[in-house]
Amino acid sequence: MHDDIIHTLTDWIEGNLDKTLSIDEVAAKSGYSKWHLQRMFRTVTKQTLGNYIRERRLTLAAEALRQTQRPVFDIAMQYGYDSQQTFSRVFRRQFSQTPTAYRHMMRRQSLIRPSGYRFDCSDFATHPCASVVDKTVTPACS
């Protein structure tokens, strides 16, 4: 029963990570007291509600750092941080490096590709820069 409640609630949280979410607001959405919700959430997920929200936001922020050229400040604001310094401190605690260092590392990794690497077409067949040959996808724009 608690699993279903927490699953439904995490689905709602996922859809609202770009908004300001307080534990009080999440508790109100759930219909449970803040204390009871946090206890139930920790029992089911083995982490606190606050940590779950923070980790999910940081994961989405890391994805934005990898996939866009947007300024770190803009990404920090999008995911609910009131300053770039606060975002950088929390990001470093989670990923052991600053957002800028993370972005540079991910760029370097994306430039390095082992020779003879073959892609599974089930994952990349629809990529616009790929051509399918003998059920193997070969990047066409490298």
pLDDT digits (tens, 9 = 90+) for 32-59: 999 999 999 999 999 999 999 999 999 9
Q: How confident is the model at residue 131 (pLDDT cuts 50, 70, 90)?
A: very low
Please give the residue range of the domain that contains residue 85.
2-111
Whether residue 79 is predicted with pLDDT greater than 60 in this model: the reply is: yes
CATH number of the domain within which 26 lies: 1.10.10.60
The confidence score (pLDDT) of residue 115 equals: 54
**Cβ(55)–Cβ(94) under 8 Å?**
yes
- The answer, yes or no, to whether residue 8 has pLDDT greater than 70, is yes
pLDDT at 109: 85
Q: Given the structure tokens 């997920």, which residue do they identify? A: 45
* Torsion, CA 85, CA 91, CA 95, CA 100, rounded to 10: -50
Contact 57/79 with Cβ under 8 angstroms?
yes
Q: Are residues 30 and 48 in the same domain?
A: yes
Higher pLDDT: 21 or 117? It is: 21
Which residues are CB-neighbours of 121 under 8 A, at least 6 positions away?
132, 135, 136, 137
- Residue 25 sits in the same domain as residue 89: yes
- The model scores a pTM over 0.75: no
How many domains does one find in the chain? 2
Tell whether 47 and 91 lie within a shared domain.
Answer: yes
82, 141: one domain: no
Tell whether 26 and 69 lie within a shared domain: yes
Statement to judge: residues 101 and 128 lie in one domain: no
